Structure 1
Amino acid sequence: MAAGLLAGCVGVEFPGGSAPVGPVPAPDTRGTGNQKVGRPYQIGGVWYYPRVDPGYDAVGLASWYGPKFHGRSTANGERFDMNKLTAAHRTLPMPSIVLVTNLENGRSVRLRVNDRGPFVDDRIIDVSRRAAQFLGFEQKGTARVRVQVLDANGQPADSRRVADAVPAPAGVGGPFFVQIASMSSLDNARRLRDAVARFGRAHIQKVWLDGRRFYRVRLGPYDGRSLAARTLDRLYDQGYYSARVFTDSIG
């Protein structure tokens, strides 16, 4: 969105479009091996300093952009397509692959950073309209999200996937559960439970945290870590990137 930098990648609420529940397609990863960091630049009197940040992990506000910028050049010279899984970030190298998780409903999607922005308030990322649909905030316009840079293996720096984890100490056993998401909406939790039922025994666990009620969508229990890890890998293959493995002792 090079032509629209001063517009600030403002996320505008447009009518129409639904937020699908379930697996999402992977982003276009072409060219990720040849990243461009870019020089420092100034927008609205503020200087920004692009840099390589493999451990980037931030929480903040996300917005989305679409029709107004569709077909325009992005900051790295590509054509912006609002129907692709892409995003704009102020400082990450282009392209980078990031995992964006909507903290309001637990949905997550991998996006390809190929643009600069947003330059509005405390927003940390601007996503395409298609990404906003998958993340479930197209109608709302903004959402509180977590953004994590993914490594060459497609994993965030602090990945807790059991398949790559150190074995549990002696005496620490199951049962193990694969948790897909934790959310405050029971209706959303039920839809997600139904969507992942094909992977195993899906259920909802109600918990209270800091005086608030949450609904955890989980698969299991599994007697062994390896069984849980295999289920986790299947979920990752189908786009459920926020899934994690827990024991019943983890709150």
Structure 2
Amino acid sequence: LSSCAETQLIVHTAKRLAKSKPSPVKAKGRYKIGNPYQIKGIWYHPKVDYGYNRTGVASWYGPGFHGKKTANGEIYDQNGLTAAHKTLPMPSLVQVTNLENGRSLRLRINDRGPYAYGRIIDLSRRGAQLLGFHRQGTARVRVQVLESESRLLAHHAMSGNIMASIGSPIPSDIKLPKAGVDKDILLPPKGASLVPTQKIPQDSKNSVIRRSTVRERTPVGSVQPDGEITTVAIEPSNIFIQVGAFTQFQNAHQAAARLSILNNVSVTSAIVSGKEFFRVRAGPIKTLSDADFLLESILHSGFDAARLIVD
């Protein structure tokens, strides 16, 4: 080759290599908790809650919001591993488990919603596909905040160092979910055993916090959702409406009396963080549509803390 042709070849090759490299990831979102807000007459109070662990009904959102800004300023990608929540900080990392098929997946909270009364979380289309309810639209789920990962995400977001916002390329060292998620490839292999979920021991909280400090310089990628699906053991469940949780039995009894027109209203006690609460519940309820209708009626009766639960 002539020197001129050789130079052109080198330049052309360099351009191709430059194009093939992942483009720099820019943090488009920001850390956000937000002020209390009201939707459809119901007040929501965003807050940090690293002990968040609730059941409910999940939904998903997609095409109508794809490419638009999320509540913390990211660009929503329906093919990303994200979700919307009414009150959790953005970003937070949560473990979402489908209580109907046992599939469990980590997702990053980066948006507000859902605002249907009986929905606990709104997943991206991809998240719903991976958890196996994309076609049916909803699923009974458990949502748990992953404390150490969420602390680390919060630190990096407040420092302006989010690894990947939803519209940005994901680094090559992060595992991406495979296509064809609606097919049987997501079922566990024959002979595989189901692994029950385990709670993090209380005495491990201090070590969790230490692992989240800046000194270790943990890459943000280590706390990003990786698309890995685990399968956990599940038991048959029912839908209930938890009207409220009261510290005084008399208050719980009065609430139950106000709902005496309904069938199957009960008051049960539970110890939470060493404190006794009296829970007022209606159910079990046969169908989700019945539960949605009843929940809306209870909310408009003044019980604005009422929510769907799965038990």
Please tell me the TM-score bracket, short chain as reference: 0.5 to 0.7
Q: CA deviation at 1:35?
A: 3.5
**Rg comparison, structure with higher value:** 2
Is residue 40 of structure 1 aligned with residue 40 of structure 2? no
Partner of 2:123: 127
In the alignment, structure 1 segments of 5+ residues that lack a partner are 1-27, 156-187, 195-201, 205-215, 219-236, 245-251
TM-score, length of structure 2 as denominator length: 0.43
Partner of 1:150: 146
Equivalent position SS for 2:147: coil
TM-score, length of structure 1 as denominator length: 0.52
Q: CA deviation at 1:217?
A: 7.0
Is residue 97 of structure 1 aligned with residue 86 of structure 2? no
Equivalent position SS for 1:98: strand
Equivalent position SS for 1:152: helix
Which has more helix, going by share of residues?
2
- Counterpart Cα distance in 2 of 1:153 and 1:91: 18
Change (3 A) 1:37 1:69: same
Is residue 63 of structure 1 aligned with residue 59 of structure 2? yes
- Conserved? CA contact 2:91–2:150, under 8 Å: no
Matches within 5 A, 1:1-251: 35-153=31-149, 191-194=187-190, 202-203=191-192, 216=194, 239-241=228-230
Equivalent position SS for 1:91: coil
- Conserved? CA contact 1:203–1:217, under 8 Å: no
- Counterpart Cα distance in 2 of 1:154 and 1:115: 15
Q: Which amino acid aligns with 1:151?
A: E
Percent identity, aligned pairs only, is: 57
Partner of 1:19: none
Equivalent position SS for 2:187: helix
- Counterpart Cα distance in 1 of 2:67 and 2:227: 29
Q: Which amino acid aligns with 2:42?
A: V
- Conserved? CA contact 2:35–2:46, under 8 Å: yes
- RMSD between aligned alpha carbons? 3.2
Give the number of the structure with larger relative contact order, counting CA–CA contacts within 8 Å between residues 6 or more apart.
1
- Conserved? CA contact 1:193–1:217, under 8 Å: no
Change (3 A) 1:154 1:45: closer
- Counterpart Cα distance in 1 of 2:231 and 2:83: 18
Report the count of equivalent residues: 148
Q: Which amino acid aligns with 2:111?
A: D
Change (3 A) 1:106 1:67: same
In the alignment, structure 2 segments of 5+ residues that lack a partner are 1-24, 152-183, 197-225, 234-311
Deviations 1:30-86 (A, max 9, x none): 799x73211111111211100000000010000000001111111111111000000
Equivalent position SS for 2:127: helix
- Counterpart Cα distance in 2 of 1:110 and 1:150: 9
- Counterpart Cα distance in 2 of 1:48 and 1:138: 27
- Counterpart Cα distance in 2 of 1:89 and 1:104: 21
Q: CA deviation at 1:243?
A: 5.2
